[in-house]
């Protein structure tokens, strides 16, 4: 394709050099349009095109208004802000109905002698990010090139997604499961650490009711070591699932996780049976201690109000929850997956088919039904095993599909932590973001596509740098009022960190309403030139740039209180002192 484009450009250059000189660049613009037509006929954003005019007045000229009416232009906006008197001024983006023929439109606009150029708003190609993990090229779920009899591109488009977001370390995914070998070489550095707790001091430092809960909690043994146990018939299950969403990525060894840097909170709730009390407490712990995403690895066919209560509690605290649909090849709802506030995940194989008995054996396959929300890869997966081991599981399960969704939620929240659980679910499950699967049974809207979801995720906006108002000069020892005002474009409350320049600070005062003046007094105790520095952050700890404000403080004038009658009598006897006193008192 590159050779084709170069050839076209050379031919174009030869043609233009052979043409006679003209008073405008219409022909040049048309030739550009022809190249665009040939090169990217299906690679531009519908309903949008770019126009540059000779000067600003042209945008409102009768000829342009006529074209705008003809093509039902919806809106016109400048591409660049604050570009006056530069070459980037007078460039506009035009919005028209999406069913309009953009290439035909730009040809008409290009024919106007006052238009310097018109072109589509092209879709920029994505450069996939390829990690160096030893077994990444066998992880078809992340990037399918036909491994294990699969079909190319039947995957979640992880490398394309990583070009947009790899995950942030302050996003926490809770593993409510059988425990995790948290010392495993390929996940250890992605294990959550409770910064408010001091390890092994026997004290509940953070007051959350759990002593020394540095990485999570074991609800089976009621202690602070949530490692899996050999006696567990599902030994290693928690590690296998956690590795899929949070294995350390791009570290040469092992496998790649869906997220590179999101942390895993380890909550051991399963031993050899499902204890509803353990799971309910695990979900509550995750919600109370900062988990953003909760992967609940349990499945029962009995409706439990206790589990639903704990799920709703976590949902109300802003947690996005995921659970497996189950592996019995049935349509019977499984809980907690079937709860309204949990995303129910079915499983697909490397050919984008629902996993069934041909994949997992007689009597097994991904559960299905209208209660399933979405599907994810759940077959032939490379996994972490205890004691720094790795293995390929030829079968699979929906419990291995669910971590892919949990990891995708971690990526979405890394890009925009202000999103609600419902907004995250929509970005993952809505039909416009998923890829189709092949099955006569319903396992949700489609198979997840991480790239589509992340591209659709709105950009997160930190607060603007605060405006600072107040006196620019003053006296030592006098209290002065200063005003700070920061606007958060997402409408979140803001906090202010203020350094007065004299060694004193206000540490994250707030919350304060976005865009509303925050007034505070400060008294300087010494003279000098001081620079006030202020920054704002929102409720998600996204910080603004720093603003500065200069203040000059001088010594306060001393006041001498001398009785007037006494002074007059004194000067009558000592008139020669009058000039000196007059100078001292500045009278």
* Domains of the chain, each with CATH number or no CATH: 2-122 (3.30.70), 136-456 (3.40.50.200), 467-554 (2.60.40.10), 563-587 (no CATH)
Sign of CA dihedral 197, 201, 205, 206: positive
Q: How many CB atoms lie within 10 A of CB 436?
A: 11
Where the chain has pLDDT below 50, the residues are 1-42
User: 3-class DSSP state for residue 142?
Assistant: coil
What is the CA angle 220-226-229, rounded to 5?
75
Q: How far is Cα 320 from Cα 309, in angstroms, rounded to an integer? A: 15
Q: How many CB atoms lie within 10 A of CB 302?
A: 9
DSSP 126: P
Based on the residue annotation, tell me whether 493 is a catalytic residue of this protein.
no
Q: What is the pTM of this model?
A: 0.71
Bridging pattern class, strands 547-554 and 473-475: parallel
Q: How far is Cα 404 from Cα 411, in angstroms, rounded to an integer? A: 11
Sign of CA dihedral 411, 416, 418, 421: negative
- Catalytic residue chosen out of the listed positions 184, 237, 368, 522: 237
Contacts of 88 (CB under 8 A, 6+ apart): 79, 80
What is the CA angle 291-424-374, rounded to 5?
105
Dig out the tokens for 19 from the structure: 């043409």
Q: How far is Cα 392 from Cα 384, in angstroms, rounded to an integer? A: 9
What is the CA angle 494-495-496, rounded to 5?
125
- Catalytic residue chosen out of the listed positions 110, 178, 399, 486: 399
Contacts of 304 (CB under 8 A, 6+ apart): 276, 335, 336
pLDDT given for residue 38 in this prediction: 35
What is the CA angle 461-458-97, rounded to 5?
125
CA 221 to chain CA centroid, Å, is 36
For residue 269, what are the CA distances in angstroms to 216, 261, 400?
11, 24, 17
Assess whether the previous peptide bond of 336 is cis (omega < 30° from 0). yes
- Cβ 456 vs Cβ 433: under 8 Å: yes
Based on the residue annotation, tell me whether 225 is a catalytic residue of this protein.
no
- Stretch (H or E) spanning 69: helix 62-70
Q: To which residue do tokens 């052979």 refer?
A: 18
- Stretch (H or E) spanning 103: helix 102-110
pLDDT given for residue 122 in this prediction: 67
pLDDT given for residue 585 in this prediction: 63
pLDDT given for residue 561 in this prediction: 63
- Catalytic residue chosen out of the listed positions 133, 155, 157, 177: 177
pLDDT given for residue 48 in this prediction: 87
Q: To which residue do tokens 């092209």 refer?
A: 122
- Cβ 360 vs Cβ 431: under 8 Å: no
pLDDT given for residue 273 in this prediction: 81
Based on the residue annotation, tell me whether 237 is a catalytic residue of this protein.
yes
């Amino acid at each position: 394709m590159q050779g084709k484009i170069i050839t076209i450009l050379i031919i174009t250059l030869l043609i233009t050099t052979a043409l006679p000189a003209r008073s405008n660049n219409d022909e040049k613009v048309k030739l550009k349009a022809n190249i665009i037509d040939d090169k990217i006929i299906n690679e531009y954003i519908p309903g949008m095109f770019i126009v540059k005019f000779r000067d600003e007045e042209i945008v409102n000229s009768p000829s342009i208004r006529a074209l705008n009416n003809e093509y039902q232009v919806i809106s016109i906006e400048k591409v660049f802000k604050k570009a006056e008197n530069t070459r980037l001024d007078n460039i506009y983006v035009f919005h028209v109905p999406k069913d309009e023929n953009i290439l035909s439109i730009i040809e008409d606009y290009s024919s106007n002698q006052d238009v310097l150029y018109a072109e589509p708003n092209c879709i920029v190609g994505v450069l996939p990010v390829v990690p160096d993990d030893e077994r990444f090229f066998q992880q078809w779920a992340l990037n399918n090139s036909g491994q294990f009899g699969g079909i190319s591109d039947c995957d979640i488009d992880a490398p394309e997604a990583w070009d947009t977001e790899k995950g942030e370390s302050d996003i926490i995914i809770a593993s409510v499961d059988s425990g995790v070998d948290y010392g495993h070489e390929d996940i250890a550095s992605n294990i959550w650490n409770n910064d408010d707790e001091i390890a092994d001091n026997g004290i509940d430092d953070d007051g959350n009711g759990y002593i020394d809960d540095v990485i999570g909690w074991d609800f089976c043994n009621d202690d602070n070591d949530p490692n899996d146990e050999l006696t567990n018939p599902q030994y290693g299950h928690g590690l296998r699932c956690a590795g899929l969403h949070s294995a350390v990525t791009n570290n040469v060894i092992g496998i790649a996780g869906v997220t590179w840097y999101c942390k895993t909170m380890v909550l051991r709730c399963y031993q050899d049976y499902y204890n509803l009390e353990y799971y309910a407490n695990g979900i509550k712990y995750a919600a109370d201690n900062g988990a953003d995403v909760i992967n609940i690895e349990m499945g029962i066919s009995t409706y439990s109000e206790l589990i639903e209560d704990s799920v709703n509690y976590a949902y109300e605290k802003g947690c996005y929850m995921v659970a497996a649909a189950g592996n019995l090849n049935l349509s019977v709802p499984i809980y907690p997956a079937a709860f309204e506030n949990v995303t129910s995940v079915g499983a697909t194989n490397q050919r984008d088919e629902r996993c069934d008995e041909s994949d997992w054996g007689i009597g097994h396959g991904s559960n299905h039904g209208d209660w399933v929300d979405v599907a994810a890869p759940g077959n032939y997966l490379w996994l972490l095993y205890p004691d720094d081991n790795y293995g390929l599981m030829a079968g699979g399960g929906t419990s291995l599909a669910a971590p892919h969704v949990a990891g995708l939620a971690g990526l979405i929240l890394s890009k925009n932590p202000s999103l609600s659980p419902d907004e995250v679910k929509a970005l993952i499950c809505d039909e416009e973001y998923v890829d189709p699967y092949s099955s006569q049974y319903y396992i949700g809207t489609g198979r997840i596509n991480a790239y589509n979801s992340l591209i659709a995720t709105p950009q997160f906006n930190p607060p603007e740098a605060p405006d600072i108002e107040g006196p620019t000069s003053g006296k030592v020892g006098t209290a002065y009022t200063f005003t700070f005002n920061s606007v958060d474009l997402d409408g979140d409350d803001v906090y202010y960190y203020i350094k007065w320049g004299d060694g004193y600070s206000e540490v994250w005062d707030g919350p304060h309403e976005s865009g509303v003046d925050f007034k505070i007094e400060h008294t300087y105790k010494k003279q000098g030139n001081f620079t006030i520095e202020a920054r704002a952050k929102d409720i998600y700890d996204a910080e603004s740039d720093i603003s500065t404000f200069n203040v000059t403080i001088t010594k306060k004038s001393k006041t001498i209180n001398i009785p007037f009658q006494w002074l007059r009598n004194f000067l009558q006897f000592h008139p020669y002192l009058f000039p000196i006193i007059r100078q001292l008192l500045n009278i």
